Chain A
Amino acid sequence: MTRTPRRRLLAAIAVLSLPLAVGACTGDSGGGKTDNPDADVTITFWHGWSADSEVAAIQATIDAFEKDNPNIHVKVVGGITDDKINQALRAGGPQAPDVVSSFTTDNVGQFCSSGAFADLSSFMADSGVDPAATFPSAQLSYTQYDGNQCALPLLSDAYGLYYNKDAFAAAGIDGPPKTMSEFDADAVKLTKTSGDSYSQLGFMPTYHGYESSISHLAAQWSPTYFTADGKSNVAADPMFAQAMEWQKGLVDKLGGYAKLEKYRNTFGDEWGAKNPFMTGQVAMAIDGEWRAGMIQADAPDLDFGVAPFPVPDDQADTYGKGYITGTIVGIASTSQKQNAAWRFVKYLTTDTDAVVNFANAIHNVPSTIDALASPDVSQDEAMQTFIAIASNPASNTTPASPNGGAYQLTLQDVGYAYESGKDSDLKAALTKAAEQIDTDIAQAQ
């Protein structure tokens, strides 16, 4: 081959091999609260609900809003993911959403610090909404970053303990455990081995065991993720090490990491009818309030109970708390209709009837103090347990961070290495994790 064709071929390869061209598309940040919310206007609302019942429920809420505000029309786009939200907010323009909701709270820090979502503080002040008097503290925590309240809670999720009443009765256990030592003893009692596996496991403690992530479990220790100046606290706060040591201890008591992971691979889909708690493969599980509705729909014969997840023995007086999260909603900073958008967001997040009706319709926990106390909220026994967890002042959440959930990922990595025995020096691993979290946050800022 001659040199010229070779160069041409190299040039062609260069074109083919350019991995991902990162274009210079910048968002149009020309939004603001200058519009007249009394004028006839259409706002665009993006949400992630896709199940028929959920879509109908949010539409009913929107219909009620439009009835109260006949000049504001809401164009709804459902089935939206966070990746789509990120791209749309960057692109801006007339097709971009004015109001956006997301199922995960982990990205709120990015939405606030990047300016993707407008700060709602001035809207709330103008409308006389006192956030501290309206929303529980955990919900307020996960919707703001560094004083910027760029989102508000749109229903909540609370985590608690699901237990199989038949399995409890067969093992001679009277009621749900309240402390970790009781929980460990019950988990062992409920575990039945079969060959080199299990016919029933008391609890799946490994971090990949669906909802048994370190963040969900550690909430029972009420850890502090960051210091006041925004530095990682995972090494300094002994609660993280205690939570991880407890989990590792339970892994060992129930047969060891390898055996448990092999059993985990026999589990069906978390969100389907083959969920291991619903099939009886595990007798206890940590899960959110939605699981009760799924059990009633897909495993109606399962006799189950719900209770707050146990707490460490030395924090027995805080029994009743749990991990709190939820859906969030915010206004795109690129929106030209922010005043009209605020009216909609205010209705969705603070109108007690709207919050209660929507929560009842999709089996979520209400996200305002008034709605949690409303007599109209579902009186279902399981739901009332989760409402009590959500109302508990000691309930807590994972705070917002400027790089989303990256700090949780770093902490999870410590947990994976520790539970598997790959890394036995937990203190050193947490110190390294804290340094990594600080480095990652510095990179994001």
Chain B
Amino acid sequence: MPLTGSRDRTSSFLDQRVLDVSARRRETLRNLAFLSPWLLGTGLFFLYPLASTAYFSFTHYNGFGTATWDGLDNWRFVFADYPFFWPALRNTLWLVVVMVTLRVVAGLAIGMLVIRIKRGAGLLRTLFYAPFLAPPVAGTLAFVFLLNPGTGPVNTILGRLGLGEPGWFNDPAWSKPALTLLALWGVGDLMVIFMAALLDVPKEQYEAAELDGAGSVSRFRFVTLPHLRPILGFAVITGVIATMQYYTQPLIAGQVASGQIGGSGQQVEPGYPAKSTLTLPQLVYNLGFQRFDIGAACVIALVLFALSMAFAAALMRRDSVFLGGDG
């Protein structure tokens, strides 16, 4: 019967759809099960803290009682009334631009130098890499001692050579360059990454370029650099993120150079000298954990997050430069 046949076909079609839906649901559930460790981790350690941070930025919360809704007060305070925010933001951006750039350039230059040297390369590798392993506090203390404008050996030598004697960590104009020197001293991590990438460039391409008459600059520009783009992208993006979170070295350098440890009636000056070593993470800690103002601390944490994302996104848009141009 045509009618029955149609009914059968309809029934069979529906059964098949039910089976399809069921299979898709099972597949989705199976995929979710495989993804669950990541989903759990991301939810617990990223989405929940991010949502909490966003929520607390609109509240008055001292960490003891209950958070009370405060609207935009914390945002207004941080951007309009908090005297440390803009200097810290300027310092952070200065460090991102100058320190990250110089670290990448220095890491690449040292990597190129070390792979070309025939004798003593192992020793050089060790010498350049070892500072990276030094604890940040110890390294910073050593630099503050070495660069002490009154008694440090660096200025003693500069003075004997008749050169200028900068104030380094005691001079607002020189404190960030001094931090940059400290960061360059520990550039061993980038050196190793660039060494690996440089050794991975096919030698045939250099030979072909040489046959075409390319000089060393052209070989670097047209052979080495394209191969290094993904690594350069990685170095810049992770460097930007790490510098956004730069905390220990400027804090220790400022406190030690100021000579003050704080105490009653003697507040440690944040970002000594003259706020020049103040960075945004220092403000997050100071406000949130020392001043009991978690709301304002959350505002600055969110600003840092937004800046990190903006920098990363902007750099990734330049993927033809940094990521090999395959996107």
Physical interaction between A and B = yes
User: Among A13-21, A124-132, A182-190, A350-358, which stretch is in contact with chain B?
Assistant: A13-21
Distance A25 CA – B150 CA, assembled complex (angstroms):
46
Distance A215 CA – B265 CA, assembled complex (angstroms):
5
Flag whether B241 is at the interface (Cβ < 8 A). yes
Decide: B263 and A103 in contact? CB cutoff 8 A.
yes
Flag whether B323 is at the interface (Cβ < 8 A). yes
Flag whether B316 is at the interface (Cβ < 8 A). yes
**Which of A19, A25, A211 is close to B304, meaning CB atoms less than 8 Å apart?**
A19
Decide: A404 and B290 in contact? CB cutoff 8 A.
yes
Flag whether A412 is at the interface (Cβ < 8 A). yes
Decide: A6 and B327 in contact? CB cutoff 8 A.
yes
B108-128 interface with A by 8 A CB criterion: none
Nearest to A445 among chain B residues (CB) is: B60
Distance A64 CA – B241 CA, assembled complex (angstroms):
54
Given contacts A15-B46, A17-B244, A210-B260, contact A24 B52 (CB under 8 A): yes
Nearest to A90 among chain B residues (CB) is: B63
Nearest to B151 among chain A residues (CB) is: A266
Flag whether A369 is at the interface (Cβ < 8 A). no
Decide: A443 and B293 in contact? CB cutoff 8 A.
yes
**Which of B280, B288, B292 is close to A444, meaning CB atoms less than 8 Å apart?**
B292
Distance A302 CA – B73 CA, assembled complex (angstroms):
56
**Which of B64, B73, B290, B309 is close to A27, meaning CB atoms less than 8 Å apart?**
B64
Flag whether B31 is at the interface (Cβ < 8 A). no
Decide: B52 and A404 in contact? CB cutoff 8 A.
no
**Which of B272, B281, B308 is close to A13, meaning CB atoms less than 8 Å apart?**
B308
Most B CB atoms within 10 A — which of A2, A21, A87? A21
Given contacts A20-B284, A22-B298, A26-B64, contact A267 B259 (CB under 8 A): yes
Flag whether B202 is at the interface (Cβ < 8 A). no
User: Among A110-118, A173-181, A229-237, A359-367, which stretch is in contact with chain B?
Assistant: A110-118
Decide: A21 and B50 in contact? CB cutoff 8 A.
yes
Decide: A142 and B264 in contact? CB cutoff 8 A.
yes
Decide: A157 and B264 in contact? CB cutoff 8 A.
yes
Distance A216 CA – B263 CA, assembled complex (angstroms):
11
**Which of B45, B245, B265, B316 is close to A398, meaning CB atoms less than 8 Å apart?**
B265
Top 9 nearest A-B pairs by Cβ distance? A21-B49, A265-B150, A1-B327, A17-B308, A215-B265, A325-B264, A266-B150, A19-B304, A409-B267
**A and B contact pairs by CB, cutoff 8 A, 7 listed:** A17-B312, A22-B288, A104-B262, A213-B260, A213-B267, A405-B264, A416-B274
